Amino acid sequence: MKFIDLKCSNCGWKLTLINDNLLKCNSCQSEFIIDDEKNITNNYTINNTHQKKAISHLPIIAFFILATLSVTIFFILGVTPKIIGRSPNSISKIDTYSYREKPESEAGIAFTEQIFRKSIDKIQTEELKKIKYLSVKLSEDKSNDVWSVSYSFEVWNNPYNYFETEEVILPYDLTLDILDFTCFSGLTYLNFNNTSNIEGSYNFSLKKLDQLTFYGGYFNQSLDDIMGALPHPKKLKYLKAQIRNDSQLLRLQELTNLENLIVTYLAEEVTPNKLKELDKLTSLTINGYYLKDISWLSNFNNLESLSLFNVSKVSDYSSLHSLTNLENLSINSGDMLKDTSFIKNMPKLKRLTLEDTAIHNIRDIADKETIISLHLSGNNMLNNIEEIASLKNLKTLHFESNSDNIRTADLDSLNHLTEVTISGGFLEIIERSLTIKDLSVRTRSDLDLDNLSKLLELETLTIKNSSNLLNLSSLSYLDNFKKIVLQDSTIDFDSISEQIELMPSIEELSLLDSYLALGRLNQLPFPNLKYLEIDENSYFSVWKDNKYMSSFDYGLTLLPDKINSMTNLETLIIPNSQLNTLDFVDSFSNLRVLDVSNSYITDVEPLNALSNLELLNIYNTPINNLDILSDKVFTIR
């Protein structure tokens, strides 16, 4: 029996064949019984109770009643002796768990091979144990979805310390099975980020992951399933899960060492006042769409970090006055939050986020020298941010607003400010800040880069939603300026009237959903570029043969002539290029990573001249002589 793209009738997600008679939805966990005539009977879940759609034929009803009684008697006689002595809360499922020594699904094999740069059959199980951190999510791309897998060989231990990870991006059409993760027995951090459509959740267990201290569940994974799957519940310090009823809330008491709880969904059935039983936590995050009352927070004297998301129904925040040990506070979609006087009673506060609230000003943070990070965005009634200038130890600032009527102050006196995200209309407040290293600007118009020419320490510039960049050459004198990232933006060299000067300091250029118009420019003005990425949603054009030629018609086949002077290039990422030859690579002897996926290339012989090449992505590319490549080149295909 074979099912192709069989979808759940309740939520539309993919069904997984559990056995010859049962299908299960990976998303909503609905079950579907297959009878002898290949008909499917929907066994759906409402309010945690299983019901079957009514059948009008009385004989069939009688048959099912008799069958149910028989199964019940069998279960009582056969299973009860095995569970005598267990507490009711510990009986979540029969202990028939599955494990794997190595990944077996398409995506599981692919990301593991990319991590270790060798085929799955050459990877030893001992090597898999070295991975300490894995985070999986389904990332939305403009043209399609992709699997994003972040990993690290280092131990993660604090959500607020910088933690460096590597990322593997995979096509979403590759299947990913949750059982693949049972082979990474050295994991201390595993986060499925509430991701749906991961297959194989039936009988999934964490029993082999006995070093696990952080776990984040997959979509609709019940807390009871998580508790039953954990190898050592008392070891877990960080949990990311849904809470759907009071009994699940009570089960959290079994996690005696739990410090950090992230509630991705708090059901309306949960009694808010019972949340006070979690007052031993030091960090709490709640997605509280149904939450109306947070008075119980006044009991959380140990709390150091609090994040409240989607709390549009909360009107009274007075309980926050009791949180005197708080170091990190984030309130998102607090539509009725107007008074922030509680901040004055938080002498240890370091990081503050207020997003989509009804605040008018930020005077309650004035002169608060403990604050090192401030995030303000979507606060449509905010009319004064002058107090930011009084935060002498501020290191990170995120301020975005569409309003033109906000009182501001220059921030050039903030000597520790290194990372800034800001709306284009407010660049004037940071244009003389000499310490900024990482700057992200969002604007819906042209961006005059001359306003940034005094940022002498600038290293990375990210530009979002800009219709064009003006005076790019004004940044050519910034010796530390290394990286440019364009997101949903345009850089049109042909429309720029000023003389284009070379920018020798730039080493990285990424175009993400952006437009690069070279026009009559013979070469990109970045002679020392080491990293160039033009993603599949970006395009570019040149002036050739007395006409504009665009990648809409020619792909990136015209690109090689415009970058062949960049002899320092080490990474070139150009998927969906329409290229049919690799002859251009002879200019790039330093090339280590090449992505020409989804192209028309058939011959890889020119790559043998690249002695430094380590990674080649030729996914969905009709190569016919891959065997001639050196063994040291790992190939994604």
Does the pLDDT at position 224 exceed 60?
yes
| Cα separation, 21 vs 34, whole angstroms | 5
Whether the per-residue pLDDT at 67 is higher than 70: the answer is no
Find out if CATH 1.10.150.120 is the number for domain 570-637.
Answer: no
Instruction: Indicate the pLDDT class of residue 512, thresholds 50, 70 and 90.
Output: very high
Domain ranges of the chain: 15-90, 570-637
Q: Note the pLDDT tens digit of each residue in 85-104.
A: 333 343 344 456 678 999 99
Are 490 and 517 a contacting pair, CB within 8 Å? yes
CA 478/CA 439 separation, integer angstroms: 14
Neighbours of 373 (CB within 10 A): 17
**Radius of gyration of the CA atoms of the chain, in A:** 28
Contacts of 260 (CB under 8 A, 6+ apart): 159, 214, 237, 238, 239, 281, 282, 283, 284, 285, 305
**pLDDT tens across 475-488, in order?**
999 999 999 999 99
Q: List, as own/partner pairs, every contact residues 46-54 make where C-beta atoms lie below 8 angstroms and the sequence separation is at least 24, other chains included.
A: 48/244, 48/245
Q: What is the pLDDT of residues 321-379, one digit of tens each?
A: 999 999 999 999 999 999 999 999 999 999 999 999 999 999 999 999 999 999 999 99
Least confident range of 122-126, 401-405, 506-510: 401-405
Q: What is the pTM of this model?
A: 0.83
